A = this chain, B = another copy of it.
């Protein structure tokens, strides 16, 4: 058996053009070229080595990550990489770090919610990484319910300053990535209190650490919240805790692109429609769905290759045993996951289109499609991340005992991926939002209000509740229209039944939870 390359044999059997598929997967020939070039750049650079991740302790892991982030920054500048190239390079460095939050949350939130003046001052510093920022929203006692945040930002007209304060244990900021050790600044979300009134949660730029010696500034207690799941995984990230004891910041560090507080302490509500925030949400969820595809494709790739090489049972006359890939039990668990990786790849593209479509409509002050877009992105975020998290673990089990070794790559892939089921909307909370939207859509059928977008099929309610499947022979299942109608009929009938059950319960909220869960 030694010396035989089983993968080569399998690869020769491909019945499609592998090079063409690579381009489809990458999105374009250009994307494939960039991806390939960045992959080689990272793989050939010893600073980016990651083989040792599982053996070293937390401190060494974190130091390595700092080194890699700085080196990536250096290479990006030396090679004058484009933003597209830089982003691919960071993807292949493949290690969560404070840089993700600096570029992925701190810079975008200032862009989205800051004034031109604030952009000029803060983004200039941030782009050169002369300051390092994080995004301090979640608190020890408050995650999904953002409106329940307790940190206060009380305006003091005498000093023209906000006083940022953590009034309780549960108000401690908890989880922000990059906060524990690296960040010099944060966008802090706090309840804006002025003129004796609570105006709800707003964003404030707060300096946390000295630019001289990196020590926390007076009134600020900050640190790392400890180890997380996995050997490496998110342990390279300094998720942090942050407590304020009456920290004063100038008034102009409130992000005032949307609403403002005047020198006199008067709160001016923004006239920008709040719906504009939806564009960002669609963008973030589109990225999460693409990431799901990436993670699941890595897991299935490992499990498919293993299944081709691994042989167990089924030896005849002392010949080699059967490849486990040939067992139906293995195929029935593995192939749907492989198919899902492709499906998620293409639905990610579609979500990218949806993002551009939504933006175009928002610019034209057209908000009618938003509820459907919201439900659709919530549902896809929840579905793809749940399937991917469970799918990685299933791939691990499909590799038998060997999947339990870090050298299989699967334990770390699982540990680094699972937070996606919780962040940016807990998957169960999101599914309930989808359910509420669907039940509402059902209740409006026949009212003349036509369902739109991905729920347009519900307009065919009469046909779909009556129709029977027209499949006569196995090959009929190869017609996409047949499969699509089967899905539509099933989805509609389930939604209608759920809506009926809920309507029979006296307390609708309770009915919701009982019927749907």
- Taking beta carbons and an 8 Å cutoff, which residues of A are in contact with B? 1-2, 54-58, 60, 138, 141-145, 148, 168-170, 175, 225-231, 234-235, 310-313, 315, 321, 327-329, 332-333, 393, 397, 400-401, 403-407, 411, 414-415, 418-419, 421-423, 426-428, 432, 510, 513-514, 517
Contact B230 A405, beta carbon cutoff 8 Å: no
Residues of the B chain whose Cβ atoms lie less than 8 Å from the Cβ of A143: 312, 400-401
Residues of the B chain whose Cβ atoms lie less than 8 Å from the Cβ of A311: 141
Which of A138, A141, A315, A328 gathers most chain B CB within 10 Å? A328
Name the contact of A230 in the complex, choosing from B169, B230, B327 (C-beta under 8 A): B230
Name the contact of A229 in the complex, choosing from B168, B227, B327, B411 (C-beta under 8 A): B411
User: Assuming A143-B400, A415-B411, is B328 touching A227 (CB within 8 A)?
Assistant: no
Residues of the B chain whose Cβ atoms lie less than 8 Å from the Cβ of A1: 141, 168-170
Residues of the B chain whose Cβ atoms lie less than 8 Å from the Cβ of A175: 401
Nearest-CB distance from A509 to chain B (Å)? 10
Known: A144-B313, A230-B230, A329-B428. 8 other contacts (CB 8 A): A2-B170, A57-B57, A141-B311, A227-B405, A328-B517, A393-B393, A401-B419, A411-B415
Nearest-CB distance from A170 to chain B (Å)? 6
Contact A404 B428, beta carbon cutoff 8 Å: no
Residues of the B chain whose Cβ atoms lie less than 8 Å from the Cβ of A328: 510, 513-514, 517
Contact A145 B321, beta carbon cutoff 8 Å: yes
- A84 CA / B495 CA spacing, docked (Å): 56
15 residue pairs A–B, Cβ–Cβ below 8 Å? A2-B169, A54-B58, A142-B312, A144-B313, A145-B321, A226-B407, A229-B231, A229-B414, A230-B231, A328-B513, A328-B517, A329-B432, A393-B393, A404-B419, A404-B422
Residues of the B chain whose Cβ atoms lie less than 8 Å from the Cβ of A393: 393, 418
Residues of the B chain whose Cβ atoms lie less than 8 Å from the Cβ of A168: 1-2
Nearest first, the 6 A-B pairs at minimum CB distance are A328-B513, A229-B411, A57-B57, A54-B227, A227-B406, A332-B517
Residues of the B chain whose Cβ atoms lie less than 8 Å from the Cβ of A403: 422
Contact A513 B329, beta carbon cutoff 8 Å: yes
Residues of the B chain whose Cβ atoms lie less than 8 Å from the Cβ of A225: 405
Name the contact of A57 in the complex, choosing from B55, B148, B228, B312 (C-beta under 8 A): B55
Residues of the B chain whose Cβ atoms lie less than 8 Å from the Cβ of A310: 141
- A310 CA / B142 CA spacing, docked (Å): 9
Nearest-CB distance from A225 to chain B (Å)? 7
Name the contact of A138 in the complex, choosing from B230, B401, B405 (C-beta under 8 A): B401
- A142 CA / B397 CA spacing, docked (Å): 16
Question: CB-nearest residue of chain B relative to A329?
Answer: B517
- A418 CA / B227 CA spacing, docked (Å): 20
Nearest-CB distance from A317 to chain B (Å)? 13
- A422 CA / B398 CA spacing, docked (Å): 10
Nearest-CB distance from A329 to chain B (Å)? 5
Nearest-CB distance from A321 to chain B (Å)? 6
Contact A148 B404, beta carbon cutoff 8 Å: no
- A230 CA / B229 CA spacing, docked (Å): 7
Name the contact of A226 in the complex, choosing from B313, B327, B405 (C-beta under 8 A): B405
- A128 CA / B235 CA spacing, docked (Å): 41
Nearest-CB distance from A449 to chain B (Å)? 29
Name the contact of A400 in the complex, choosing from B144, B333, B418 (C-beta under 8 A): B144
Residues of the B chain whose Cβ atoms lie less than 8 Å from the Cβ of A313: 144-145, 148
Nearest-CB distance from A143 to chain B (Å)? 6
Residues of the B chain whose Cβ atoms lie less than 8 Å from the Cβ of A422: 397, 400-401, 403-404
- A332 CA / B229 CA spacing, docked (Å): 25
Contact B144 A312, beta carbon cutoff 8 Å: yes
User: Assuming A227-B406, A228-B404, A411-B228, is B148 touching A315 (CB within 8 A)?
Assistant: yes
Residues of the B chain whose Cβ atoms lie less than 8 Å from the Cβ of A327: 513
Residues of the B chain whose Cβ atoms lie less than 8 Å from the Cβ of A321: 145, 148
- A54 CA / B59 CA spacing, docked (Å): 12
- A498 CA / B168 CA spacing, docked (Å): 60
Nearest-CB distance from A471 to chain B (Å)? 19
Residues of the B chain whose Cβ atoms lie less than 8 Å from the Cβ of A169: 1-2
- A418 CA / B390 CA spacing, docked (Å): 13
- A141 CA / B6 CA spacing, docked (Å): 14
Nearest-CB distance from A352 to chain B (Å)? 28
Question: CB-nearest residue of chain B relative to A423?
Answer: B401
- A327 CA / B514 CA spacing, docked (Å): 10
Residues of the B chain whose Cβ atoms lie less than 8 Å from the Cβ of A513: 327-329, 332
Nearest-CB distance from A437 to chain B (Å)? 16
Nearest-CB distance from A44 to chain B (Å)? 24
Nearest-CB distance from A56 to chain B (Å)? 6
Name the contact of A312 in the complex, choosing from B2, B54, B148, B414 (C-beta under 8 A): B148
- A419 CA / B327 CA spacing, docked (Å): 22
- A514 CA / B332 CA spacing, docked (Å): 9
